[in-house]
Amino acid sequence: MPNARGTLEQYLNAARCLPEAVTASLHPATAAEASIVGARLDVLHTSIRRLDWALPVAGATIMVTVRAYGIALAPIAVCYALLVVNCLFNEWLLTRRLSRFEDSPTGTGRRARMLSAMTLVLTFAWCILILSMYHPDIAANRLFVVLILACTLGSLSTMFAMHMAAAAGPILVMSLSLVAILTLNMVWGRLTLLPIGALYIILVVNQACGMHRRFGETRRLEQEREGLIDGLRKAHIDSVAAEERAVAANKAKSEFLANMSHELRTPLNAIIGFSEVMREQMFGALGHSRYREYSRLIHSAGTHLLGLISDVLDMSKIEAGKLELHPEEIDLRDVVGECIALMRDRAADAKIDLTVDVPDTPLFLCADRRAMSQILLNLLSNAVKFTRPGGRICVRAGNRNGRMVLSVEDNGVGIPQADLPRLGNPFVQAHNQAGIAHTGTGLGLALVRALAEKHRGSMRIDSKEQVGTTVTVEFPTSEPMTAAA
């Protein structure tokens, strides 16, 4: 009982909403609604064209069948002629007039009203033809007419269900015709099938409503999908444009810094040089002991600033493609010795043991000597910076499987695993080395990686927190390097 009551309420609600649904299907208000109605009308258009050819053929076949019952064909022929004329007129409208409507809410509304009128007139013509074949005294004919009306109601409701206004009129006409015939038969005491016919009409209407609803939902989902695709396409275009702008801006920045090399380094070199003269008192005493200390601080700060600027400028030159490399055959052992000599005092001041593990045989490599020194000095500087007093740093070099391998190993604070993938990118540093001073630009490892890649090499970082870090740089001994970055 509750299910029956719910079903009845559903039908009553649908009946109350029917006028609004019919109006909406004839007068779409927005472009989105017009798109959905337009898709429904495309299906309806195809259905009408099929009926324009199928109904005349079916009508002629039925006339031949009815002729066997001995019914006069003159009235039926007139109704059949009206049906054929209506179908031909529909074809003319569908091929000549409807193609001119634009895809807008107004144009779609006009097209919807015309197609709905065509379905209604076509259904009237067909019902008149079928009803003209009815004969109350021939039982087979009465049953034949009922079956034709029932089958037509089912097929037309399915074909026109996509559009509410186009389906409502034909279904109403066919239902009234079927109910009229069944009622007439029941009054005469023949073929009392009215309850079954009413149930059949309810089932057909329910099926048509379900098809209409499912088609609308499917079309709305398609619209949402198309909207998402358009949004993704627009976002991709915007992303590509933003990336191009970012690349252009980064290139302009790199070119600017690379071109500013002389302007930045020249005054710094002058500051460092004059502060060194004052610190050493080459032209006599400064007059007060603090002046010598101040000149030492100026020299130290200038040297530090020059190192930072040099890293930035070198990275900018690499990114701008303006860093010139001068390859020559060098012995990697000599580079290691020179860098160790430069860093030994700094390591000693930090109370760090600096050792070397290289073979006695030469380690010849075709590379830029300054770049090799810069790679090793950056690695040693990082190792000293992140190793606590009493720690150990070991520099290793050797030839392994046809590749020259240079590594710097320390037992410092190590690097968190989460930071390892980011290191080696410009201006990136690890941030959780508690108690360790780590001032700088974050370009050291980026420069090492970039210079290694310009030599057709690679850089690898292996580290574990509170255990230590090993940075390994490998170079091919047989492949040529890039002479100009």
* pLDDT tens figures, 90-103: 888 888 776 666 77
Mean pLDDT across the chain: 77
What pLDDT does 219 receive?
67
- Which residues share a beta bridge with 454? none
Task: Reply yes or no on whether the pLDDT at 435 is more than 50.
Answer: no
Distance CA 155, CA 58 (A): 13
Cβ–Cβ < 8 Å for 101, 110:
yes
pLDDT (0 to 100) of residue 422: 67
What is the rounded CA–CA span in Å between residue 237 and residue 258?
A: 31
Measured between alpha carbons, how far is residue 92 from residues 4, 96, 97, 327 in Å?
Answer: 47, 6, 8, 83
State residue 429's pLDDT score: 58
Q: Is the pLDDT of residue 395 over 70?
A: yes
Quote the CA–CA distance of 408 and 473 in Å, as a whole number.
9
Contact 164/209 with Cβ under 8 angstroms? no
For residue range 133-146, what is the model confidence (pLDDT) as tens digits?
Answer: 887 777 777 777 88
332-346: b or e for each residue (b if 16 or more CB lie within 10 Å)?
bbebbeebbeebeee
Tell me the whole-structure pTM to 2 decimals: 0.46
Contacts of 216 (CB under 8 A, 6+ apart): 36, 40
Work out the end-to-end distance of the chain between its first and last CA atoms, rounded to an integer number of angstroms. 85
Structural contact between residues 387 and 410, judged by C-beta atoms closer than 8 angstroms: yes
Q: Give CA–CA dist 398/363, Å, rounded.
A: 7
User: Who wins on pLDDT, 249 or 313?
Assistant: 249
pLDDT digits (tens, 9 = 90+) for 53-80: 888 888 888 888 777 777 777 888 888 8
